[in-house]
């Protein structure tokens, strides 16, 4: 009886590993192709692409950085993404903690309403937001883009952190206040460190959504000086001029900060996802 069971277990594990490898290759191959294509010569890129380039070149990166506005667009994207992350974390922590710890009527409706707002597609929100920004004089500014991104990142952050605060025992804060901490001190010294995985997860999601946004940037930004990287790369693809090499190099440079963030914070990211799934 032990042999069939052992064989079934081995077959099951082999099947799981095989499925995982296929899924990993399927997910990673477009990224690999993007990076490799940014290092191919033009003729090989357009005429005879292979899995492994015969020759390597950095001409696309040199032309991208020297002959386009990519450095300025990269800086604009970085300013918008970092500002969005900081504001998302501050506002999400304040709202989620306040709704969880304070007696607020209809707080379930508040949380549900924010999650419902997150479900709206960006294009549906972009047009009324553009009208509002034009009315108050903030159209075609990076600030308008930050505010637009907050409509997507903040509801997600509040919903995620609410799951952490909701199941965190209030006795922890009471014990800290008995020892002499104020309410704010107990929050900063006890509660906030315990929610570090959730904060990292919210920061990564907010940075990802802001860094790769195209819809809000397309509607809000009209001048070349304020374009972000996704908008700048899209403008390189014209009807008669397809600069695929530059586009691949620019896309690779876009992905590098995301790779660095995931590598540096992957441990906290996984903890935040698993804890949020259990606590939420």
State the average pLDDT over residues 249-276. 70
What number does CATH give the domain 63-278?
Answer: 1.10.3720.10
Rounded average pLDDT over 85-112:
82
In percent, the amount of the chain with pLDDT more than 70 equals: 90
Mean pLDDT of the chain: 81
Structure confidence at residue 2 as a pLDDT band (50, 70, 90):
very low
Query: Binning pLDDT at 50, 70 and 90, where does residue 265 land?
Result: low
Asked if residue 150 lies in contact with residue 84, where contact means CB atoms within 8 angstroms, the answer is yes
Please determine, for residue 103, whether its predicted confidence score (pLDDT) is greater than 50.
yes
User: Where are the chain's structural domains?
Assistant: 63-278
Which range, of 13-22, 33-42, 166-175, 233-242, averages the lowest pLDDT?
A: 233-242
Please name which of 70, 82, 96, 23 lies closest in space to residue 208, comparing C-alpha atoms: 82
The stretch 201-211 carries a mean pLDDT of 88
Owner of token pair 């090499």: 245
Give the residue carrying structure tokens 């419902």: 116
What confidence tens digit (pLDDT) does each residue in 140-176 have?
A: 899 999 999 998 898 888 888 887 787 777 777 777 7
| 67 has a pLDDT exceeding 90 | no
pTM: 0.80
Distance CA 109, CA 64 (A): 48
Q: What is the mean pLDDT of residues 112-120?
A: 74
pLDDT score for 277: 45
pLDDT beyond 60 at 8: yes
Could you tell me the two tokens for 274? 């698993």
Q: What one-character-per-residue DSSP string does the chain give? A: -HHHHHHHHHHHHHHHHHHHHHHHHHHHHHHHHHHHHTTS-HHHHHT---SS-SS---HHHHHHHHHSSHHHHHHHHHHHHHHHHHHHHHHHHHHHHHHHHS--TTHHHHHHHHHHHHTS-HHHHHHHHHHHHHHHT-TTSHHHHHHHHHHHHHHHHHHHHHHHHHTS-THHHHHHHHTT--HHHHIIIIIHHHTHHHHHHHHHHHHHHHHT--HHHHHH--SGGG--HHHHHHHTB-SS-B-HHHHHHHHHHHHHHHHHHHHHHHHHHHHHHHHHHHH-
- pLDDT at position 84 is 95
């Amino acid at each position: 009886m032990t042999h069939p069971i052992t064989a079934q277990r081995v077959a099951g594990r082999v099947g799981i590993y095989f499925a995982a490898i296929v899924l990993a290759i399927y997910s990673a191959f477009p990224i690999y192709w993007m990076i490799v294509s940014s290092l191919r010569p033009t003729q090989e890129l357009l005429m005879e692409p292979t899995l492994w380039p015969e020759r390597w070149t950095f001409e696309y990166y040199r032309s991208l950085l020297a002959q386009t506005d990519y450095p300025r667009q990269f800086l604009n994207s970085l300013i918008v993404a970092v500002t969005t992350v900081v504001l998302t974390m501050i506002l999400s922590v304040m709202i989620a903690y306040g709704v969880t710890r304070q007696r607020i009527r209809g707080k379930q409706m508040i949380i549900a309403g924010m999650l419902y707002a997150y479900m709206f597609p960006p294009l549906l929100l972009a047009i009324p937001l553009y009208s509002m920004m034009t009315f108050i004089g903030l159209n075609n500014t990076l600030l308008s883009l930050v505010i637009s991104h907050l409509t997507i990142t903040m509801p997600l952050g509040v919903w995620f952190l609410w799951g952490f605060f909701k199941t965190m025992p209030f006795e922890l804060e009471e014990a800290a206040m008995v020892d002499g901490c104020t309410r704010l001190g107990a929050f900063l010294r006890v509660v906030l460190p315990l929610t570090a995985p959730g904060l990292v997860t919210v920061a990564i999601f907010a940075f990802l959504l802001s860094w790769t946004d195209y819809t809000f940037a397309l509607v809000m930004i009209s001048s070349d000086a304020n374009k972000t990287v996704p908008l700048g790369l899209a403008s390189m693809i014209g009807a008669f001029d397809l600069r695929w090499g530059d586009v691949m190099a620019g896309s690779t440079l876009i992905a590098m900060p995301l790779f660095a963030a995931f590598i540096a914070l992957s441990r906290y990211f996984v903890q935040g996802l698993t804890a949020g799934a259990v606590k939420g």
